[in-house]
Structures are given as structure tokens and as C-alpha cells.
Structure 1
Amino acid sequence: MAQKKAGEVEAFLSRPDTSFPVLLLYGPDSGLVSERATKLAALSGVDNTDPFASIVLMADELEKSIGRLFDEAGTVSMFGGRRLIRIKGAGNGKALADAVADLASNPPTDTTIIIEAGELKKTAGLRVNAERGKAAMALPCYQDEARALDRLIDEELANASLTIDRAGREGLKARLGANRLASRAEVQKLCLYALGKSTISLSDVTTVVGDVSAETVDEAVDAAATGEVRKLPYLIERLISAGVSGFQLQNPLLRYFQQLLLMREELEKQGLTASDVVARKRVHFSRARSMELALANWPVPAISSVLSRLEADILQSRKEAILQQSIMHRTLMEISVEAARLRARR
């Protein structure tokens, strides 16, 4: 089977194996997938600015006319040399999955095909056919871990001839990781700010790099649960611009309402106040007031309905990863509107 483990992908990218002309990159971090696809494209030996040698196709368009992929794969470059086909936005489309099976069994001559996809289950047709194809390679791309973040930071610091002290590095890493391209852009912005210095400090990091990860996710969850409809669009925009995926928000939202259900049942059975229950659960002080409001507003049947909705949304997001941000936006707004209605009835 032609596939790499997540930890082996960087090594493969440093020395791509040309015996695998069909390359599938997939994972929940669209920025990481795109960055690695761009690196593969640069290493393919094809001039990406030459329209006769390089072409970008969208997966949804190919689903309507898959014959175009075979036409492009079989086209000979006008001036000779290799050709590059880059396919974006792939998911669970059957036509593309079947085409990959054919192209991986009978690869075109002098053509590299790079496919960018969202999260794919083990049973997804596109992933299965890429892993099984003799001329295809499946490359999983997952969120930056500490070592990968350190490598990214070191690369950009070296390019700018800068260093960073220990406190600054830890503070910077805590603010990165939601999206590979967004993370790199933040480090580049920091380096630009620090030009002329020899060492970047924590104060430089806190001045320039915004923390849009955990804190903003918590804010968005709290705003949805308490019915802050007007505040939510701003928070959603921050999350989307930072590259936070739907899964990074759906899971905390699901855990929040699971906890809220247990607390609400305790409140009703024991006749306690919302403040009493929140205090007993030792909710962090920064979120305690929001939790009290949500606990007072949401009855058990309404919480159960939200949990069912979230489970369905998570499943849909896994099936159609390209839609996960749209699903996240819709879900948050609808939960917030319902919370506002429940508050108004009290």
C-alpha cells in the first residue's frame, strides 16, 4: 500500500519519489495541505507559471465532467517536458475517486497529479484508491505539533537572521497552530516587526501576534450558548481568518453542551441554583458567569436537541470537509438565536 504516516510526510517532501506521479494530500488543516502541495509542485520540475505546462482544476467541477482530467493527463506539453495538474477541494466525490484508481493503475507519461483534500476517513473512496494504486501515494497532513511549530519558527527566523528567547518562543507557539499558512504568516509578521533587533522577546510576541486559538474558541462557544447574537459574527470572522477548522470548534461546543446537560440535570434534581452548580463544578472564573446564564436558560430537552444537532453536524463535516466552516458558522448562529429566544421567555 502506497501511503505515509503523518510523521513521515516531511521526509518524503524533502526527496519526493517520482515513481508516484499521483499524489493525494489530505487532512483537516487546509493551510498545511496547501503548503505541502505547493512544495510538491515546486519540486515537480514543472514551471508553475507556464499555462501550457501547469493547470489547476477544482474537484467539484471535475465531478460534473471527469473526462477533462483524463484529457489533461493525456495532453503532451507544447514545448516538451513534464506537465503538472493540481486538483483543489477534493472530498468524497465518486468520479474523482474512480479516476484516481484508473490513473494510479495506468499513470500518464510525464505528468504529475497533485490532489488536495480535506479530512478523509479510512473508507473514503479517494483515499482507498490512492493508497492501493501502484503509482499513487497518500500523504496525511495533520495539525502542527510542537516539533513542527519549532521547525516553522526556526525557518522564518533563519530567513530574517533573527533569534528568539525561550519565553518568546513559548509565547509564540501558544498563539500558533490553528492553520499552517496562518501560522507562518504570523511568524513572518513578527520577524518584520523585529527587524533591526538581534533577539525577539515575549513582549514583541504579545505586541504583534494575536492569540486566536483557545481563547477565541471559548468566547465563541460562550456567545452561542448565552445568545449573544450580535457579538458572534465578529468572533466567527476571527476564527475563520485564523484558519480555525470546524472540528476545532465543534468538539469544544459538543463538550460544553454535554457538561451543561449534566449540570442542568443536577440543578433540577437537587433544587440548586445555577450559581451553586457552577461553583461546585469549579468552572474557570473567566467563564463562570456565562455558564451560569446558559445553565439558567437552557432546559434539558433543548440541550438534548442541540447535542443531537452537533453530532449530525460533525458527521456531515467529516463527509464533506470542504463545507465544515460553513456548517460551523450556521450552527453557531442558530444555537445563539435559540439561546436568545430561551432567555427572552424567562
Structure 2
Amino acid sequence: MKVNVAQMRARIAAPTPDIRLYLLHGPDEAGAQALGQQLAQALGPEVEKIDVESKALRDSPGTLADEAASLSLFGERRLIRVRGADDATVEAVTLLLDAEQAINPVVAFGPGLRTSSKLVKLAIAAPAALALACYPPEGQDAVRLASALAQEQGLRLTGDVPQRLASAAGGDRAVLAREIEKLALFLDAAPDRKRDADSTTLEAIGADLDESELFEVIEAAIDGRVATIGTALRRLREAGGSGIPLLRQLARRLMTLAELRAQADSGVPVDQLVERIFFRERADTARALKRWNAPQLARAIERVRSAERALMQTANAGDVIAEAECAALTRAAARMRG
């Protein structure tokens, strides 16, 4: 069944045995992960989380139904989580939905899935599945999200701080949460210790991101400017930029190029496509479309997403992960240019 955000939140808050699959698809990976975490919390503090890779399901599609029907060793509730779900997992999901028994719910994350994909259509048509398209919050939705996350940390955002935080995060819930956590630590805020966060506080911790430096790095990487990428990364670092916003915006830029590349491959002239782009980005976009092909863009998107996931892990190498990926992408783009 297809549901909206409010409906999915309600069903996740009180999960019922008749729903075997929660499919969270679309570009807002952080929002989808937050919903998945809420589902785990609703199942209880002792829930056992079982992670299944989508590649394993392609090789052995019956694994998903088996895990959903299996009891845990000590009787705890289980939640089966599928990362990177795509149309290659349709057989596994079909077996899950057709199985005689499924006592453990499955939540599948498919950031690359579109509403026209086979897996999404299967979930929408199945009474035992819920499908939600997750999109990054924009405009007032992003501002409201900033205020809501801040309240959870004991913060009251004043003045234009909610707007500035939403803009700096670029619609990424994970980045937004990290910046709010910085504010809470700086002010020693907590749910039982309310604090006000104003523009002065925001500037003191450097949470506001300079978009010009960010844009410079992204375009240098995509354009293969090996001679300038190091300087661009240094300027971004000095301006207070960090790895996750950089990778997130880079992935969005690559996804936009991938969509335009698909239209160009279907016969739409590049000159006509770039007319839809903001005028300052038209020249860079035209060059990128003439250099990058669809498979190259798909690989780049996957690499950038993988780097972002690595940066979100505990005990990681820090922003050097993002900088190394940008440097690698720049070198690859330079080779395409010849």
C-alpha cells in the first residue's frame, strides 16, 4: 500500500502483524533511516536487528522469507533490515509476501528506487506492505524539522537560526541533526535544561555553511580540475565546511546530471536541457553532460553514497574520507576529459 509520511509514522509507532514489509525509498536516506530507527524502538528495547545485504538476496532470494519466519534464540522480537533494496530483490520480496508465515517485520531501504520501479509497484499493490517515497524536506518543512529536532535536544531556536540551519543542511536530516547536537553541546542543553540558540551562538560554533566554497569543490570535482581541487577543499575547510554536507550535495549534483544524461540519451539536445538549469550553472552542466555517460554517473553516485555511509560510522577517519573521494572523482573526471 502506498502511504504518506503521517500514515507511515502512525503505522510504525504501532506495528501490527499484518504488515510484513515497510519499504522506504527515495533520495532522503537520512529520513528513511530515522523512520527505520523509530520502527525498531516501537518493537521494544530488546529487539534483535538482523541486517541483510541486497546482494545476498539476489543470490539467495529465499533468505528474506526465512529470516522473517525465524524465531530468535532467546525469544526477542526481530527486525529484518535490507539496505540498498532494488529491483533485483523483487523475487525475495515476493517470496516474503507469499510466505505462509512471517512473524518478524522487514524494513527495506531503497534510496535509488523510483516510483516506477518494479519493487515499489509490488509493495504498493500488496496489502501486507507499506511503501513511502522519502524526499528531503524543503522550504518550511525543513525549517519546521530544524525546530522539532532542536526541541528534542532542549533547544529553542530564535531569530533566523531555523532557516540558516535548514539551508546549511541542504535538506539532509542527518546533517541537520549533527549541527543541532553541536549547538546543544555548546550550550549544555538537554530536555530538562532548556536553552535559547541565537545567531551569535550559531556563528560561534561555525554551523553555518558557506555555499560558495561548497559549490566550488563540487564543480571542480565534476569538471576534473585536478590542479585546483586541493585549493577548493582547503577553502571549504577554512569556511567551516564538513564532509557529510559536501558528499550529500555532491551526490545530489550527480543525480541531477544522471537524470539529464538519461534525457540526453533519449534524444533531447543538451543545449535544450541546460536551458532548464539556473543560468550560472549552465556552462558547467553542459560540459559535464558531454563528458559523463550514464554508467560513469551511476558508479560515481554509488561511490559518494558509500563514502557518506563510511563517514557516518563510529570511529571513522573523519572528513578526510570526503576529501579523498572528491580527489578520486576529480581524477576520474580528468581522465574522461583526456
The normalised TM-score by structure 2 is 0.70
Report the AA paired with residue 86 of structure 1.
Answer: R
2:34 is aligned to 35
How many residues in Structure 1 have an aligned counterpart in Structure 2? 296
Higher relative contact order (CA 8 A, sep 6+): 1
Query: Are residue 144 (structure 1) and residue 137 (structure 2) matched?
Result: yes
Q: Are 1:250 and 2:254 counterparts?
A: yes
Q: Paired residue for 1:241?
A: 244
**1:163 CA displacement:** 1.6
Q: Distance in 1 between matches of 2:70 and 2:201?
A: 52
Amino acid at match of 2:333: I
Correspondence for 1:223: 220
> Is contact 1:29-1:245 (8 Å) kept?
no
Counterpart of 2:294 in structure 1: which amino acid? A
After superposition, what is the alpha-carbon deviation per residue over 1:184-239, rounded to whole angstroms, capped at 9, x for unaligned? 11111112112378421112112324445843441124424482243466699967
Amino acid at match of 2:43: S
The alpha-carbon distance between structure 1 residues 21 and 44, as it changes in their structure 2 partners (threshold 3 A), is: farther
Question: Residue 275 of structure 2 corresponds to which residue in structure 1?
Answer: none
The whole-number CA distance in structure 2 between the counterparts of 1:187 and 1:40 is 23
Corresponding residue SS for 1:110:
coil
- Asked whether the equivalents of residues 163 and 199 of structure 1 are also in contact (C-alpha less than 8 Å), the reply is yes
Matched, 1:202 2:206: no
Q: Does residue 94 of structure 2 align to residue 112 of structure 1?
A: no
Secondary structure of the residue aligned to 1:54 is: strand
Question: 2:82 matched to which residue of 1?
Answer: 87
Distance 1:307 1:183 in 2: 31
Given that 2:217 and 2:229 are in contact with CA atoms closer than 8 Å, whether structure 1 keeps it comes out as: no
Q: For residues 236 and 131 of structure 1, what CA distance do their matches in structure 2 show?
A: 43
Aligned partner of residue 56 in structure 1, secondary structure:
strand
Q: Report the CA distance between 1:114 and its aligned residue.
A: 0.9
**Structure 1 alignment gaps of length 5 or more:** 263-280, 342-346
Larger Rg computed on CA atoms: 1
Query: In 2, distance between residues paired with 1:145 and 1:177?
Result: 8
1:230-266 deviations in Å (ceiling 9; x for gaps): 34666999675235155522267789999xx97xxxx
Change (3 A) 1:173 1:34: same
Shift of 1:142: 0.8
2:244 is aligned with what amino acid?
Answer: S
> Could you say if the C-alpha distance between residues 184 and 305 of structure 1 is closer, same or farther in structure 2, counting changes exceeding 3 Å?
closer
- Residue among 51, 56, 61 paired with 2:56: 61
Check the 8 A contact 1:105/1:134 in 2, yes or no: no
Deviations along 1:51-98, one digit per CA (max 9) or x if unpaired, are xx43111112222222332322221233446432111122232xx211
CA–CA distance in 1 between the matches of 2:6 and 2:211? Answer: 25
Residue 252 to residue 75, structure 1, CA distance change in 2 (3 Å):
closer
Question: Which position in structure 2 is the counterpart of 1:181?
Answer: 174
Give, as a single letter, the amino acid of the residue that structure 2 aligns with 1:61. A
- Aligned equivalents of 1:109 and 1:103: distance in 2? 7
Q: Is the 8 A contact 2:46 2:77 kept in 1?
A: no
Identity among equivalent pairs (%): 21
Work out the CA distance in 1 between the residues paired with 2:6 and 2:69: 34
Give the gaps of 5 or more residues in structure 2. Answer: 265-269, 272-277, 308-324
In structure 2, how many angstroms separate the alpha carbons of the residues matched to 1:114 and 1:251?
A: 24
Secondary structure of 1:90 counterpart = coil
Once the two structures are overlaid, the 10-residue window that deviates more, 247-256 or 122-131, is: 247-256
The answer as to whether partners of 1:4 and 1:138 remain within 8 angstroms in 2 is: yes
> Partner amino acid for 1:316?
A
Partner-residue secondary structure (3-state), 2:151: helix
- Aligned equivalents of 2:115 and 2:296: distance in 1? 16
Q: Which residue of 1 aligns with 2:310?
A: none
2:46 paired with 1:47: yes
Shift of 1:140: 1.3
Residue 100 in structure 1 maps to residue 100 in structure 2: no
Q: Distance in 1 between matches of 2:336 and 2:235?
A: 18
Question: Residue by residue, what CA displacement relative to the aligned partner does 1:7-38 show, whole Å, maximum 9, x if unpaired?
Answer: 65445444545421211111112222212111
Shift of residue 136, structure 1, vs aligned partner = 0.9
How far apart in 2 are the matches of 1:198 and 1:82? 38
Q: 1:137: Cα distance to partner?
A: 1.0
* Cα distance change of structure 1 residues 191 and 57 upon mapping to structure 2, 3 Å threshold: same
Helix, strand or coil: the match of 2:79? Answer: strand
